[in-house]
Structure 1
Amino acid sequence: MTSSIRTLVRACALVVSPALAACSDGATATPDSTAARTVSVGATASVRWNQRAVALVVARQPASNGQAAVSRILTYLSLAQYRAAAAAQGAQTTAGAASPSVSAAVGGASAAVLDAFFPLDVASIEAQLNADLAVPPWPGAAPEDVVGGQALGRRIGTAVLAQADRDNYLAASPGTPPVGPSMWVSSSAAIVRSLYGVRPFFLRAPNELRPPAPPAIGSPKFVEALAEVRRIADTRTAEQTAIATNWNTSSGTFTAGALNLVADDVIREHGAPELDAARVLAFANAAAFDAQIACWDAKFAYWFIRPSQADPGIALAIALPNHPSYPSGHSCMTAALFGVLANAFPDQRARLDAMVDEAGMSRVYGGIHYRFDIDAGRDIGRAAAALALNGSLK
Structure 2
Amino acid sequence: MWRTMTGALLLGAMVGCARPEPAYRTQPPDPEWLHEAVKQVTDVMVHDIFSPPQASRVYAYASIAAYEALRPAYPGYRSLAGRLNDLQPVPEPEPDQTYYFPLAGVQALLRVGQAMVFTEDRIAAYRDRVHARFRALGVPEPVFARSVAYGDAVAAHILAWADQDRYRETRSYPKYTVTDAPGRWRPTPPAYLDGIEPHWREIRPFVLDSAAQFAPPPPLPYDMTPGSPFYEQVREVYEVGLGLTEEQAAIAAFWDCNPYVMHTRGHAMFATKKITPGGHWIGITAIAARQTGADLMQAAEAYAVTSIALADAFISNWDEKYRSNLVRPETVINQHLDEAWTPLLQTPPFPEYTSGHSVISTASALALTALFGEAVAFDDTTEVEYGLPVRSFTSFVEASQEAAISRLYGGIHYRMAVEHGVEQGRAVGRFVLDRLGMPSPALAAEQGPDATPRRTALR
TM-score bin (small chain): 0.7 to 0.9
> Any idea what SS the aligned residue of 2:303 has?
helix
Name the counterpart of 1:28: none
Name the counterpart of 1:191: 195
Alignment-mate amino acid for residue 300 of structure 2: A
Unaligned runs of 5+ in 1: 1-40, 139-143
Q: Given the superposition, is the C-alpha separation of residues 70 and 92 from structure 1 closer, same or farther in structure 2, using an over 3 Å criterion?
A: closer
CA contact (8 A) 1:115 1:125 kept: no
Instruction: Give yes or no for the alignment of 1:361 onto 2:398.
Output: no
Instruction: Give yes or no for the alignment of 1:214 onto 2:219.
Output: yes
User: In the TM superposition, what whole-angstrom CA distance separates every residue of 1:286-315 from its partner, at most 9, and x where no partner exists?
Assistant: 111111111111111111121222221242
Alignment-mate amino acid for residue 211 of structure 1: P
Name the counterpart of 1:12: none
Q: Given the superposition, is the C-alpha separation of residues 373 and 80 from structure 1 closer, same or farther in structure 2, using an over 3 Å criterion?
A: same
Alignment-mate amino acid for residue 234 of structure 2: L
Q: Given the superposition, is the C-alpha separation of residues 107 and 224 from structure 1 closer, same or farther in structure 2, using an over 3 Å criterion?
A: same
Equivalent residue pairs, number: 344
Note the C-alpha offset of 1:43.
2.9
Structure ID, larger Rg: 2
Instruction: Give yes or no for the alignment of 1:72 onto 2:57.
Output: yes
Q: Given the superposition, is the C-alpha separation of residues 267 and 129 from structure 1 closer, same or farther in structure 2, using an over 3 Å criterion?
A: same
In structure 1, distance between residues paired with 2:213 and 2:35:
31
Q: Which moved more, 1:129-138 or 1:223-232?
A: 129-138
CA contact (8 A) 1:243 1:362 kept: yes
Unaligned runs of 5+ in 2: 1-28, 76-91, 259-272, 378-393, 438-457
CA contact (8 A) 2:104 2:147 kept: yes
Question: Equivalent pairs: percent with the same residue?
Answer: 25
Q: Which moved more, 1:367-376 or 1:46-55?
A: 46-55
Name the counterpart of 2:71: 86
CA contact (8 A) 1:178 1:303 kept: no
In structure 2, distance between residues paired with 1:122 and 1:232:
43
Superposition CA RMSD, Å: 2.8
CA contact (8 A) 1:211 1:380 kept: yes
Q: Which moved more, 1:229-238 or 1:210-219?
A: 210-219
CA contact (8 A) 2:213 2:316 kept: yes
Q: When the two structures are superposed, what TM-score results if normalisation uses the length of structure 2?
A: 0.68
Alignment-mate amino acid for residue 106 of structure 2: G
Note the C-alpha offset of 1:131.
2.6
Instruction: Give yes or no for the alignment of 1:335 onto 2:362.
Output: yes
Q: Which moved more, 1:341-350 or 1:362-371?
A: 341-350
Note the C-alpha offset of 1:196.
2.9
In structure 1, distance between residues paired with 2:292 and 2:143:
27
CA contact (8 A) 2:103 2:148 kept: yes
CA contact (8 A) 1:83 1:156 kept: yes
In structure 2, distance between residues paired with 1:43 and 1:92:
22
Q: Which of 298, 302, 322 in structure 2 is aligned with 1:300? A: 322
CA contact (8 A) 1:331 1:356 kept: yes
In structure 1, distance between residues paired with 2:329 and 2:233:
9
Note the C-alpha offset of 1:223.
3.4
CA contact (8 A) 1:107 1:150 kept: no
> Any idea what SS the aligned residue of 1:320 has?
coil
Name the counterpart of 1:160: 158
Instruction: Give yes or no for the alignment of 1:61 onto 2:48.
Output: yes
Note the C-alpha offset of 1:42.
5.7
In structure 2, distance between residues paired with 1:122 and 1:48:
12
Alignment-mate amino acid for residue 344 of structure 2: A
Alignment-mate amino acid for residue 43 of structure 1: P
Name the counterpart of 2:296: 274
Q: Given the superposition, is the C-alpha separation of residues 148 and 357 from structure 1 closer, same or farther in structure 2, using an over 3 Å criterion?
A: same
Name the counterpart of 2:148: 150
Name the counterpart of 2:235: 227
Note the C-alpha offset of 1:213.
0.8
Q: Which runs of 4+ in 1 moved over 4 A?
A: 90-94, 171-175
